[in-house]
C-alpha cells in the first residue's frame, strides 16, 4: 500500500489534498499538523487517514525513518499569515523545517511536493518562475523564496538534478472549502460571502494604485484546481521543478463580489444583477484604501502558466464565476 505524508493536514490545502487522495482510495496517510487551534480538527473529521502526528514530533522522527517507506510528502505545513512580523519564527517554521524535510526525503528516496507562494513575487509585475521577478514584500514571502532558492542551488534552476521528484507550487489566491479556520487570512470569497450574509452588502477597496474602485486584480484559483494539479504531479513522478499554480487569469475584486452576490441571490431565488445594478442598490460598497496597506499591497497578480504547461499538465482551471458558484453551495451546506 502507498503511504503518503501530508503536513499541514488539518489546514486548508492539506485537508483538501487528503480528500483528493481519499477519492482515489488512498487512506494510508500520515496527517501532520499542530492542533493548538483545536477547531481545525473539523477539517480531518470526515477524512480517512492512517494516523496523526503532531508537527513538533514529526520532522526529526521522519529523518530517522520512523514511519517506514513513504512514497511522497505533500508539504503544506507553514505559517501563511502574511501579516506575521516575527521573522525568527517565520524562518524557523517555513524555511528551516522545510529544508530538514527535503534532506530527509532525499535520503529516503521519498518524493516531495511542496507549497511555495506567489508572495515570492511581491511587487513584481511579471509572474514567471525566474529570480529576476522575485521581490517579496514581507518576511512570509521571503521565507518561501529562500527555500525555492535553496532548491535551485541543490537541484539546478529547473530542479533538473532531482533524482527523486521535487516539485514546488507557487500558489496564487486560493479559495474554497475547508478554510473557515483561517480567520483574517481566509480568502476574499470567504469573507465576502459572510459579509453579504451578515450585512446584505460587500465592501471593496476604492481606487488605489492606478486602479479604479474594486478593479485591483488577482489570480483567484479554486482549491479543487490546486488539488488536481498536485495530484497530476503525483501521477507523474518524473516531473520536477518550480511551478506557478494559479488560474492564469487575473480578475477584478469586482468580479469576485459579483459572483458572491449573485450566488447568494440565486440561493434565495433571485435573478442575477450586473455590477452597476449592485452598486446602485448598495449591494457593493467602496471604502477608502487603508493607509496601513499602502506600499504593501499587490494590486495585480496573474500566474504565468508556461512552465506548468511545458511540464505536460493541461488541467483546465475554473474562472471566478464557476468557482464561486461551487464554493457558495458548499458554504450554504456547511
Rounded CA-CA distance 65/171 in Å is 30
175 assigned to active site: no
The answer to whether 220 and 188 are in contact (CB under 8 A) is: yes
Single out the catalytic residue among 150, 182, 203, 329: 182
State how beta strands 173-175 and 166-171 pair: unpaired
Rounded CA-CA distance 167/251 in Å is 27
Single out the catalytic residue among 67, 95, 140, 171: 140
140 assigned to active site: yes
Catalytic residues: 140, 182
Amino acid at each position: 500500500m502507498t503511504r503518503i505524508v501530508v503536513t499541514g493536514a488539518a489546514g486548508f490545502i492539506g485537508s483538501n489534498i487528503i480528500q483528493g487522495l481519499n477519492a482515489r482510495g488512498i487512506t494510508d496517510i500520515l496527517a501532520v499538523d499542530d492542533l493548538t487551534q483545536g477547531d481545525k480538527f473539523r477539517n480531518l473529521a470526515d477524512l480517512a487517514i492512517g494516523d496523526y502526528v503532531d508537527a513538533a514530533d514529526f520532522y526529526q522522527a521522519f529523518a530517522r525513518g520512523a514511519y517506514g517507506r513513504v512514497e511522497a510528502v505533500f508539504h503544506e505545513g507553514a505559517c501563511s499569515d502574511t501579516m506575521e512580523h516575527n521573522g525568527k519564527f517565520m524562518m524557523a517554521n517555513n524555511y528551516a523545517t522545510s529544508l530538514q524535510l527535503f534532506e530527509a526525503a532525499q535520503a529516503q528516496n521519498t518524493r516531495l511536493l511542496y507549497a511555495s507562494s506567489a508572495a515570492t513575487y511581491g511587487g513584481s509585475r511579471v509572474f514567471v518562475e525566474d529570480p529576476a521577478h522575485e521581490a517579496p514584500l514581507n518576511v512570509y514571502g521571503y521565507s518561501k523564496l529562500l527555500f525555492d532558492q535553496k532548491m535551485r542551488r541543490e537541484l539546478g534552476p529547473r530542479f533538473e538534478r532531482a533524482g527523486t521528484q521535487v516539485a514546488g507550487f507557487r500558489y496564487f489566491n486560493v479559495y474554497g472549502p475547508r478554510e473557515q479556520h483561517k480567520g483574517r487570512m481566509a480568502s476574499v470569497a470567504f469573507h465576502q460571502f459572510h459579509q453579504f450574509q451578515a450585512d446584505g452588502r460587500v465592501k471593496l477597496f476604492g481606487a488605489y494604485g492606478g486602479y479604479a474602485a474594486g478593479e485591483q486584480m488577482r489570480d483567484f484559483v479554486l482549491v479543487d484546481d490546486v488539488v488536481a494539479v498536485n495530484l497530476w504531479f503525483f501521477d507523474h513522478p518524473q516531473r520536477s521543478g518550480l511551478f506557478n499554480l494559479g488560474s492564469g487569469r487575473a480578475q477584478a475584486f469586482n468580479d469576485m463580489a459579483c459572483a458572491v452576490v449573485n450566488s447568494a441571490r440565486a440561493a434565495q431565488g433571485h435573478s442575477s444583477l450586473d455590477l452597476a445594478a449592485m452598486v446602485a442598490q448598495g449591494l457593493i460598497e467602496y471604502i477608502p484604501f487603508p493607509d496601513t496597506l499602502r506600499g504593501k499591497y499587490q494590486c495585480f497578480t496573474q500566474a504565468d502558466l508556461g512552465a506548468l504547461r511545458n511540464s505536460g499538465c493541461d488541467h483546465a482551471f475554473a474562472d471566478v464565476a464557476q468557482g464561486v458558484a461551487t464554493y457558495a453551495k458548499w458554504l450554504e451546506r456547511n
